[in-house]
Amino acid sequence: MEAIVLVGGQGTRLRPLTIGTPKPMLPAAGVPFLTHQLARARAAGVDHVVLATSYRAEVFAAHFGDGSSLGLRLDYVTEREALGTGGGIRNVADRLESAPGDPVLILNGDILSGHDIVAQVAAHRAARAAVTLHLVRVADARAFGSVPTDAEGRVTAFVEKSPEPVSDQVNAGCYVFSREVIDAIPAGRVVSVERETFPELLQSGRLIVGHVDDAYWLDVGNPAAYIKASADLVRGVIASPAVDLPGEAWLADGTEVVADAQVCGGASIGPGALVQAGARVDGSIVMTGAGIGADSHIVRSVVGRNAQIGAGCVLVDAVVGDGARIGAGNELAAGARIWPGITVPDVAIRFSSDI
């Protein structure tokens, strides 16, 4: 089976981490996030993947090459200007080898999901659907495509990001398209599958099936979700064929964690990073070449490539961009984001809960 992965978004909500790195290439449990999706697709029987790229396209091929290390054949197609989700799918059509009627798997490139892809494809075939959507239930559907279904599981509407969602079932970002439906998307212009293709298919009476599933599911669109995804992968809360052994922490070869430092809660420490004495890194992502000073506490945070955190700092739910230097004794909390290359002097930022 073939798959298309949409990886052209700008990852705006993950800035500054996505200034230099596209969202699917951010490390999660030690490998680019996309690796987990590709490995899951492979395990579900996919052998050929086309990556629909736009933003920072060159980074993908430089890492994954021809895909053979993952047992896949990988193709890359780059949009000169972003074509949206539907435009991106249509733009790769000439790379597909599937015949009309064959199922093609399509994935948003920022979803961590434990759902059964094989069962979704089987449901698609059994219903002879035009499209089959993976759906999950959420408490607040406003940030998603809300997708009601009838008693037979047929999708009755698709309403993208509405203040008044029409269902608590949402589009989970994993589709099976019948090949000819891809070819019918208009070429050469911006198209949104969510706002245009799905509503139009429904209007013209085509069958869209909803495959509801309550397995692990996370849209890795903001720092909190990204940090959780990585920690869950490290600890095996969500299994990935790309993670060897689940545990409390993932340490790259060549990292140095001084004996009485503590690395826990699904934290990951990238190649060449250094965690000094008395420091605690809990549920956080410390990237390549970064340094954590003595006695610092890093909780549910990201420390970017080559960033340096001084001694005695506290970071909770914070993001420090690549190459930034945080002086000793600083406290960063509650969504703080430090831009790449910035230097924060010693004891310049404190976080107080009692004002």
Among residues 37 and 306, whose Cβ is nearest to ligand GDD? 37
Q: Which residues pair with 50 in a beta bridge?
A: 4, 75
Considering only 16, 173, 210, 321, the residue that binds ligand GDD (CB under 6 A) is: 173
The tokens describing 254, both together, are 């060549």
Among residues 70 and 159, whose Cβ is nearest to ligand GDD? 159
Considering only 75, 160, 213, 219, the residue that binds Mg ion (CB under 5 A) is: 219
167 binds, among ligand GDD, Mg ion, none (CB under 5 to 8 A by kind): none
Rounded CA-CA distance 45/103 in Å is: 12
Return the residue nearest ligand GDD (CB atom): 8
At 64 the three-state DSSP class reads helix
State which amino acid sits at residue 288: T
Among residues 75 and 219, whose Cβ is nearest to ligand GDD? 219
The tokens describing 257, both together, are 């964690």
The yes or no reply on residue 86 touching ligand GDD (CB under 6 A) is no
Rounded CA-CA distance 65/53 in Å is: 14
Residue positions counted in the chain: 355
The yes or no reply on residue 72 touching ligand GDD (CB under 6 A) is no
The yes or no reply on residue 110 touching Mg ion (CB under 5 A) is yes
Give least dist CB 140 to Mg ion, A.
15
Give least dist CB 261 to ligand GDD, A.
35
Give backbone dihedrals phi and psi of 118, rounded to 5 degrees, phi first.
-60, -40
Considering only 27, 210, 221, 310, the residue that binds Mg ion (CB under 5 A) is: 221
Q: Which residues pair with 113 in a beta bridge?
A: 217
Rounded CA-CA distance 150/316 in Å is: 44
Give backbone dihedrals phi and psi of 200, rounded to 5 degrees, phi first.
-70, -40
Rounded CA-CA distance 331/310 in Å is: 11
State which amino acid sits at residue 82: A
Q: Using the rule CB under 6 A, give the single segment among 38-46, 56-64, 108-116, 282-290 that binds ligand GDD.
A: 108-116
DSSP state of 52: E
According to CB under 6 A, which residues from 180 to 199 bind ligand GDD?
Answer: 194
DSSP state of 8: -
Considering only 30, 32, 109, 312, the residue that binds ligand GDD (CB under 6 A) is: 109
State the residues that interact with ligand GDD by CB under 6 A.
Answer: 6-9, 52, 54, 79, 82-85, 88, 108-111, 144-145, 160, 170-173, 194, 219, 221
State the residues that interact with Mg ion by CB under 5 A.
Answer: 110, 219, 221
